[in-house]
């Protein structure tokens, strides 16, 4: 008498792909709506371009885009000029 063993849980490969595409859908939607702006921002992020440096800043101003006054990138520290570690005190 042969016993066949069937998996109780089916492989979720299809579900993983569906979840993967659902996570990418906002990114793909933005890319299809504004492909030049999206690819420009993507390239600037990959190349780590500073939006306040002169060639990039003047090009953005010609395009009508506003450059943030505090700078670009970073952790959003609110314009602090120190780039090293910071200490905090917890009471």
The reported pLDDT for the residue numbered 83 is 74
pLDDT tens, position by position, 45-86? 898 888 788 887 787 778 777 666 655 444 444 445 567 788
CA gap 74, 14 in Å, rounded: 37
Q: Does residue 46 fall inside a structural domain?
A: yes
CA gap 41, 36 in Å, rounded: 9
57: containing domain: 35-66
Paired tokens of 82:
């120190």
Q: Does residue 60 fall inside a structural domain?
A: yes
Q: Does residue 86 fall inside a structural domain?
A: no
Higher pLDDT, 1 or 27: 27
Q: What percent of the chain has pLDDT over 70?
A: 67
Q: Does residue 53 fall inside a structural domain?
A: yes
The reported pLDDT for the residue numbered 77 is 46
Q: Does residue 41 fall inside a structural domain?
A: yes
Q: Determine if the pTM surpasses 0.85.
A: no
The reported pLDDT for the residue numbered 76 is 46
Contacts of 7 (CB under 8 A, 6+ apart): none
pLDDT tens, position by position, 58-68? 877 787 776 66
Q: Domain count for the chain, please give it.
A: 1
The reported pLDDT for the residue numbered 46 is 92
């Amino acid at each position: 008498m042969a016993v066949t063993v069937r998996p109780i849980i089916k492989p979720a490969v299809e579900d993983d792909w569906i979840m993967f595409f659902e996570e990418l859908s906002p990114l793909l939607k933005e890319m299809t709506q504004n492909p030049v702006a999206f690819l420009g921002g993507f390239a600037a992020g990959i190349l780590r371009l500073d939006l306040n440096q002169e060639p990039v800043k003047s090009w953005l101003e010609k395009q009508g885009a506003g450059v943030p006054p505090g700078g670009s990138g970073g952790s959003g520290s609110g314009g602090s000029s120190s780039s090293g570690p910071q200490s905090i005190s917890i009471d």
